[in-house]
Structure 1
Amino acid sequence: MNKAQTCSNNQLDTEHKVEDKLAWVYLINLGFYLIPLFVQSMPIWQIALSLIVLVPFIYCYFWAYRSPSHQVYKPILAMIAIGIAITPINTGSLSLFTFAGFFIGFNYSLRHAFYCLIGLATMLALLCSLLDLHHYFLIYGTALVTGVGFFGVAERKRVAAKIAQRQSQQEISQLATMLERERIARDLHDIMGHSLSSISLKAELAQKLLAKDRVEQASAELSELNTIARDSLSQIRQTVSGYKHKGFTAVLTQLCQSLRDKGMSVTLTGEIPQLDEAVETHLILSVTELCNNIIRHSKGTHCDINLSQTEHEIAIAVTDNAATKSLTEGNGLTGIRERMAQLGGTLDYQLEATTQFTLTLPRQGHASK
């Protein structure tokens, strides 16, 4: 996982919450539906019926809000039917028709939305004629339905642009990943290319010298071969350590961002411990594996990362709110156990209503001998 990938999109969970809240906020427009109830003299039964109608209408509203585009016509038609049915009693039904106009504009292409809005305006004209309503009902109704319908078109384009931007960010992240892999491959080639060639040549030379019973010279070549191999191994360790060790704080930040990119909300609590580089690298790799497992396999919506420490030990608990009935340990968890064992620590997990993995390791100076 690279930095560009983890930073590609840090607002997905927030956007979903805001959109859900706005769905309720938009219902404030139903205030126009209620105005005639206060400014006109109506019998109690008409007022009661006007209020009762709001229950199925709001249900259809959220039905349309969550329906895919190829099925949204059903709640739209239901909202229009409710508006038609209540119009003889309450002309504030124009407000109901505007909601239908919005969903038409939001879910259909400009051409189809245009034809549907014309049909809706025609329906208003028929209502006005059949019920002998004031011509303002048709004029205001057509203007409102058309205006809100085209607002829906604009909103659809805004959402489409946001999706396209997100996809573009993901493509940039993928490209950054490819470039980083190429850089790593190039670095390893630069480090090992000459060394492996030297090792091959000296091994071949030592073999020929031994065949000619020139033992001292062969021994010298093997000694040089051993030195080259050790130097190469040291260079590889330094290079890999440079790739892995970015600091626990930075890695935790990146992991939280990656979880948010998946659409999960994340809580990070506790104080990040101060560790030496070797211990921190093992811990980074272990926590990264746990978070990657959540990203790949979990169906949860929230992840909690809690860091706690006492005088003798450090504990890191990674919890997601998805229930897990059983768990088969693969190479990832086995690798974590091995890393923790090297540090004198343990890996534990609990499978209940939530799934929790806990890494526990002794504080430096209290490690098992």
Structure 2
Amino acid sequence: MNETNVASKEPVQTTEDKFSWIYLVNLVFYFIPLVLNEMPAWKIGLSLLVLIPFIYCYFWAYRSPKDKAIYPILSMIAIGSLITPINPGSLSLFTFASFFIGFYYPLKRALLGFLALIVLLVLLNLVIGFNYYYFVGYGSMLIASIGLIGIARRKQVENLSSERRSQAEISQLATMLERERIARDLHDIMGHNLSSISLKAELAEKLLERNELAQAQVQLKELNEIARGSLSQIRQTVSGYKHKGLTSSVMLLCQTLRDKGLSVSLEGDIPQLTPQVETQIILSLTELCNNIIHHSQADICTISFIESETEICINVTDNGKTDTIEEGNGLSGIKERLTEFQGRLDYSLNQECRFSITLPKQGNLDQ
């Protein structure tokens, strides 16, 4: 795969747009000459004014697809070149351009881009006539190092994009297999039964034509039994599709939490429960996880399963910033569900927020 494909489809905006303002802290080096050197007010004012179009070009580059990134990059280089005679802190502006060159272009082109920037610094130094060479030497090191960071960031984005594509392909394959399984199940269930219904109906029709009512009634009764049996089988099959089990549901909840930015740990062995109890536990855990996502402001969550000789305990713990817990319909609903199976819901706030679901083992439930 061409190493630029991912970068062209996923500009920087899609991966860490929220950090775009933070990266502008590198402009601090732009202000150093303004502070250390005595400059007239017009030079200081012009240096500050130049930042407006530069920051615009920065975000333009940050959100550009690969095939159009050249325009904001060249604009940043032009702004840096024009302000260099007034403020040699423009080196900071060139480093932003080197980062985007490294991010958007393959290695050979990126290295040529870095070299072109260094040559530009040499030419600026010769034309302007700086009496010191840190502008070229220090600037060359910055361009090379920041450019390599851009290359590394591109590789990281490519890997993330590749992982996402792999997950999407796996999900698509799983969906196709599930559809095939459903089609196969329905064919197995209904193929023979529908053939029997068709034959019974045809036979009953012929018997009625010959006025053999007793035999026709027998066929219609059998036809009714086949139809009822088919309906029951379909209901059981659909119920099986809807109920994916506690293990699958817990994994799905963990992935949902991770998708929302939480670090999730799963501890202990997931117990085997009856379908009725599993359904209520799944609903309860879903409610607790939704509360974490919407109310806790947490970034770490642990779901643990502890099994003793007499009971099963499920703990959902997070490091959220909740000061108090108010029982709404969600928590009240969990308690009502658990009461039916002699279970209970407990919660506590200390260093962390912990919800505990406790159930007696199936053999210990009152009959």
User: Under TM normalisation by the shorter chain, which class is it?
Assistant: 0.5 to 0.7
Q: What corresponds to 1:85 in structure 2?
A: 82
Query: What CA deviation, in whole Å up to 9, does each residue of 1:116-143 have, x standing for no partner?
Result: 2211111111111222222221111111
- How far apart, in 2, do the equivalents of 1:184 and 1:108 lie? 46
Q: What corresponds to 1:266 in structure 2?
A: none
Q: Which of 104, 111, 127 is matched with 2:101 structurally?
A: 104
- How far apart, in 1, do the equivalents of 2:182 and 2:176 lie? 10
Q: Give structure 2 stretches of 5+ with no counterpart.
A: 1-11, 261-275, 280-327, 330-367
Residues 96-105 or 75-84, more deviating = 75-84
More relative contact order in 1 or in 2 (CA 8 Å, sep 6+)? 1
Q: Which of 69, 86, 95 is matched with 2:92 structurally?
A: 95
Q: What pairs up with 1:173-192 in 2 under 5 angstroms?
A: 173-192=171-190
Q: What corresponds to 1:143 in structure 2?
A: 141
Please say if 1:117 is aligned against 2:95. Answer: no
Query: What CA deviation, in whole Å up to 9, does each residue of 1:163-221 have, x standing for no partner?
Result: 22112111111111111111111221222233223323333443454455543223212
Aligned CA RMSD, in angstroms, stands at 3.2
- How far apart, in 2, do the equivalents of 1:200 and 1:105 lie? 70
- How far apart, in 2, do the equivalents of 1:44 and 1:226 lie? 97
User: Which SS does the other structure have where 2:67 is aligned?
Assistant: coil
Stretches of 4+ moved more than 6 A in 1? Answer: 15-18
Q: What pairs up with 1:135-284 in 2 under 5 angstroms?
A: 135-210=133-208, 213-244=211-242
Give me the TM-score of the superposition, normalised by structure 2: 0.60
Q: What corresponds to 1:20 in structure 2?
A: 17
Q: Which of 49, 57, 73 is matched with 1:76 structurally?
A: 73
After TM superposition, give the deviation of residue 243 of structure 1 in Å: 2.8
After TM superposition, give the deviation of residue 98 of structure 1 in Å: 0.5
- How far apart, in 1, do the equivalents of 2:195 and 2:33 lie? 90
Percent identical: 60
Residues 231-240 or 135-144, more deviating = 231-240
Q: What pairs up with 1:26-45 in 2 under 5 angstroms?
A: 26-45=23-42
After TM superposition, give the deviation of residue 95 of structure 1 in Å: 0.7
Q: What corresponds to 1:132 in structure 2?
A: 129
- How far apart, in 2, do the equivalents of 1:22 and 1:122 lie? 31
Q: Give structure 1 stretches of 5+ with no counterpart.
A: 1-14, 262-276, 281-307, 310-369
Aligned length: 248
Task: Please say if residues 73 and 100 of structure 2, whose CA atoms lie closer than 8 Å, have aligned partners that are also in contact.
Answer: yes
Q: Which letter does structure 1 place at the counterpart of 2:61?
A: A
- How far apart, in 1, do the equivalents of 2:44 and 2:163 lie? 47
- How far apart, in 1, do the equivalents of 2:49 and 2:203 lie? 96
